[in-house]
Amino acid sequence: MGQMIPDLAATSRATTTKIKPNGTSNGINTAGKKCQHDPTFTQKVIAATGPNANPRLAQIFPSLVRHLHDFAREVNLTVGEWSAAVDFLNDCGKMSSDRRNETQLLCDILGLESLVDEITSKQLATSTTQTPSAILGPFYRSDAPFLPNGTSIVQGLSPSVSWYEKALEDSAFLSGKVLSTDGKPIENAVVDVWHTAPNGLYEQQDSDQPEMNFRGRFRTDQQGRYALYALRPVPYPIPDDGPAGRLLGLLDRHPNRPGHIHFIVSAEGHRALTTQLYDSRDRWVDDDAVFAVKDELVVRFEPREGDPGARWELGYDFILGRC
The span from the CA of 27 to the CA of 75, in Å, is 10
Between β-strands 215-219 and 190-194, what pairing exists: parallel, antiparallel or unpaired? antiparallel
Instruction: Give the per-residue pLDDT at 71.
Output: 97
Is the separation of the CB atoms in 106 and 244 below 8 Å? yes
Instruction: Specify the pairing of strand 28-29 against strand 302-303.
Output: unpaired
The answer to whether the beta carbons of residues 299 and 252 sit under 8 Å apart is no
Question: 258-295 in b/e burial notation, b at 16+ Cβ within 10 A?
Answer: bbbbbbbbbbeebbebbbbbbbeebebbeebbbbbbbe
Between the alpha carbon of residue 241 and those of residues 99, 103, 107, 125, 238, the distances in Å are: 15, 13, 16, 37, 9
**CA of residue 170 relative to chain centroid, distance:** 24
Q: What is the pLDDT of residue 12?
A: 44
3-state SS class at 181: coil
Pairing mode, if any, of strands 225-231 and 260-266?
unpaired
Distance CA 278, CA 294 (A): 9
Q: Is 227 helix (H, G, I), strand (E, B) or coil?
A: strand
Q: Give the span between the Cα atoms of 214 and 152, in whole angstroms.
A: 8
As a whole number of angstroms, the distance between CA 170 and CA 309 comes to 10
Percentage helix, strand, coil for the chain under 3-state DSSP, each rounded to 5: 30, 20, 50
Look up residue 287 and give its amino acid.
D
Residue pair 107/117 in contact by the 8 Å Cβ criterion: no
What pLDDT shows up at residue 34?
55
- List, run by run, the mean pLDDT of 10-residue segments along the chain (323 residues): 45 41 43 68 97 97 97 96 97 90 94 94 85 92 96 96 97 98 97 97 94 98 98 94 95 97 98 97 96 97 97 98 91
Tell me the whole-structure pTM to 2 decimals. Answer: 0.80
H or E stretch at 261: strand 260-266
Q: Write out the DSSP string of 94-156.
A: HH--SS--HHHHHHHHTTHHHHHHHHHHHHH-S-TTSPPP----TT--TTPPB--TT-BS--S
Residue 27 one-letter amino acid: G
Total H helices, total E strands in the chain:
8, 14
| The one-letter amino acid at 307 | D
Residues whose CB is less than 8 angstroms from the CB of residue 285 and which lie 6 or more positions away in sequence, other chains included: 258, 278, 279, 293, 298
Which residues make beta-bridge pairs with 320? 180
The alpha carbon of 250 is separated from its chain's Cα centroid by a whole number of angstroms, namely 20
| Count of beta carbons in the 10 Å neighbourhood of residue 30 | 11
